[in-house]
Amino acid sequence: MLMKFTRSCYFPMLVIIGILLISSCAQREQPVETQPSQEEPLAEVEQPQPSPEEAVPVSTPPEESNKTPETPNVPVPPPAAPTPPPVAAAEPKLPEPKLVSSAYPDSFEGTYINTEKYSTKVVGQGSIAQDNAIIITGNAANEVVWNILYTNQNIDLAKDFTITADIDLTADVKRGNAAAIISLETLDGISKGKMPERNYCELSINSNYGAILRTRKSAKPGIGVPTTAGKMLVSFNPLKEEFICSFGGVELVDREFPQYGKFVLALRSGIYDIGGAEKEIGGSGSFTAKFDNLDLIVKKD
């Protein structure tokens, strides 16, 4: 039986068909999610192992890399102390000379007295000059004359010391003594212009006895010496309490105790005489005394 469609039925049918077409297009535009295929792992094929006789070691070259290798966090021990080189046995050294000053010995070269080292004192007629030696001259007419050159440096009389100097004394003595002396004195004694009481070595030309040597002011003649030119030595040993005066092969030793205070080394020359009670009085005559190559050695503590 034939169904007969009327015009009124066409419209609803077209609407339905359109909806179906739109729905079909929307489904086509949606992405289809594909599930990853899960492939089964291939079974590992066992390779035939070579026999020990056939095994050949293969060295694998190290891979070159520009990356800085990571340092493991391991404490680094301190560097070992360097081994010192072998030291040769030290040679024994000679003891250094114990000098009180590098200014000695003094040969008095030139014609000018070094006023930084020395001062002078003139009592009576006379002069003190330098001409490659210290030259002290004077003359007296019944008077005391003392011309003195002394150091600006103090000498310790409580220590062991040695003083040497070359002396050449010439004189024409009418009365008393023309003397050349190495002494250790106080500035007070020098300023008074008097002869020292002790701590000196005296070479004299006496008007009665000729050339003599002594260490203390005395009216006695002293010990005779064969010459008035030579090396004089003055030394003091505080342990032995000995004061030594030596000249021309003659040596005098006095008992002396260490003394404390300020003393200076003096080279003095002059004319004098000894009166009653060993009092210093005037003499008469003229003299010239030369002192050269003065050396002073004082032992340190």
Question: Which of the pair, 263 or 90, is modelled with greater confidence?
Answer: 263
Q: Say if CB 136 and CB 289 are below 8 A apart.
A: yes
Helix (H) or strand (E) holding 122: strand 118-123
Q: How far apart are CA 77 and CA 95, in angstroms?
A: 47
pLDDT of residue 126: 94
Low-confidence winner among 96-105, 115-124, 257-266, 279-288 (lowest mean pLDDT): 96-105
Instruction: Tell me the per-residue pLDDT of 143-169, one tens digit each, with 9 for 90 and over.
Output: 999 999 999 988 887 888 899 999 999
- Using the Cα atoms of residue 217, residue 223, residue 226 and residue 231 in order, give the sign of their dihedral: negative
pLDDT of residue 261: 80
Residue count (the chain): 301
Q: How far apart are the first and last CA of the chain?
A: 159
pTM of the model: 0.66
Taking domain 118-298, whether its CATH number is 1.20.1440 is answered by no
Amino acid type, 138: G
pLDDT of residue 226: 96
- Two structure tokens written together for 114: 């070094």
pLDDT of residue 259: 81
Three-state secondary structure call for residue 140: strand
Q: How far apart are CA 243 and CA 256, in angstroms?
A: 6
Domain positions in the chain: 118-298
- Two structure tokens written together for 284: 């008469």
Q: Say if CB 93 and CB 73 are below 8 A apart.
A: no
> Does 186 have pLDDT greater than 60?
yes
